[in-house]
Structure 1
Amino acid sequence: MREISPQLDGVLHSIGFAPPGAFNFLEADWDDVATAMQASAYSLKALATAALPLMTDRSSLVGLTFDAKFAWPLYDWMGVAKAAFESTNRYLARDLGPQGVRCNLVSAGPIRTTAAKSIPGFEEFERVWDNRAPLGWDVKDPEPAAKACVALLSDWFPATTGEIVHVDGGVHAMGQ
């Protein structure tokens, strides 16, 4: 019988949610904003602290984000929550680094997932990527983002923490 190790080498955070009201920036109420922030940003810290007792030196925490450097049309408070998520990752990198735990994010282009269906106007993101990705982008293909997560979870990046790896066909580097 094979023994199960009581440790985690890596943890993937793929949690995000905002109520419909959070997708209207000026009219959103605090309850909707608070829900988006808790589910989409604070959850990274909560997952990290829950998993930490099982993590060891050289463990890795990886999360999925959507580039929060810009005020995307229609993304509204979810974009603010993603900015908080990215900042949370930096603080976790600072606080968990001394224990040897790496904390990084993958900023993927839009992918048609169950979660994407809850974003009003998601097809607008598809148009942006169609027009601006120098490498092209397939919203139906999650594999590029998944491979980046696997790489960051592996030991291939032993001295990388607090980083955001863009897997978006190059859109993040293009001007208007």
Structure 2
Amino acid sequence: MGILEGKRILVTGVTLDTSIGFQIARIAQAEGATVVVSNFGRAMSLTRRVIKKLDPEPPLLELDVTDEEHLASLADRLREHVDGLDGVVHSLAFANPETALGGGFLTTPWADVATAVQVSAYSLQSLTMACKPLFAETASVVGLDFDATVAWPVYDWMGVSKAALEATSRYLARYLGPEGVRVNLVAAGPLETLSKRSIPGAEEFNDLWAQRAPLGWEPKNIEPTARAVVALLSDWFPKTTGEMIHVDGGMHAMGA
């Protein structure tokens, strides 16, 4: 019996088989979960193709977290496939690579900052509240992070957004804990995902991790990060909330 046997899980942001969300969905199914996935817009066609690699092929919902109608109808649309939710995976982030990433921090217009914060941080709250009517007696919300306790090269307003994501997770943990909802983040090292490839100069991260991660780091190996998320979705962490679990080869704990 898998650690997610009987669990019903929504995994957002599944695009390619190299996405963290896809690997989470794959492992969650292998551990016994019923999985529903989401994406939106033009990426939906990519998601439709890639989820055919999952067994069983999960239902696909369109969900733009900046669209109030999508959020308002989410619970009803989920009910067409599951009778409740035990877990939600927030695998969502966006910042304009031309203005908000790559070193232009001091000149980024507010409109692009607002978009980055809404999609990458506020959406943890809006997604969680949209799903809340379906939560079982206990539920686990897990978001994907890139540790924002320091300033990284070229990460710019996404770094600020991730810092906001971290704070958002703690406040959700505070307010929803009495209702049996756990909220945690997994802070991964740099992985070769579509999101990372959109960051100008992101190859610097690989050099840093190669030099300083004591356990080593394989940017193409998404499975350790996905396994950590699945573990947090399970009942094996019943009293862990407001936490950020690092899956980064130990890089976060090293000095210069």
Same fold (TM over 0.5): yes
Question: How is 1:3-22 mapped onto 2 (pairs within 5 angstroms)?
Answer: 5-20=82-97, 21-22=99-100
Identity in percent: 62
Q: Give 1:70 shift.
A: 0.7
1:162 to 235, 242, 251: 242
Aligned to 2:175: 95
Aligned to 1:46: 126
SS of residue matched to 2:147:
coil
SS of residue matched to 2:86:
strand
2:104 is equivalent to residue 37 of structure 1? no
Alignment partners' CA distance in 1, 2:138 and 2:204:
39
5+ long unaligned stretches in structure 1: none
SS of residue matched to 2:107:
coil
Give the RMSD, CA atoms, in angstroms: 0.8
Letter in 2 for 1:29: P
SS of residue matched to 1:136:
coil
SS of residue matched to 1:88:
helix
Cα deviation digits, residues 55-76 of structure 1 (max 9, x gap): 1222100000000011000001
Alignment partners' CA distance in 2, 1:115 and 1:27:
22
What is the TM-score of this pair, normalised by structure 2?
0.67
SS of residue matched to 1:72:
coil
Cα deviation digits, residues 11-47 of structure 1 (max 9, x gap): 0000000002111210101011001001100110011
**Residues paired across the two proteins, number:** 173
Question: How is 1:51-90 mapped onto 2 (pairs within 5 angstroms)?
Answer: 51-90=131-170
Alignment partners' CA distance in 2, 1:114 and 1:75:
15
Structure 1 runs of 4+ with >2 Å offset:
none
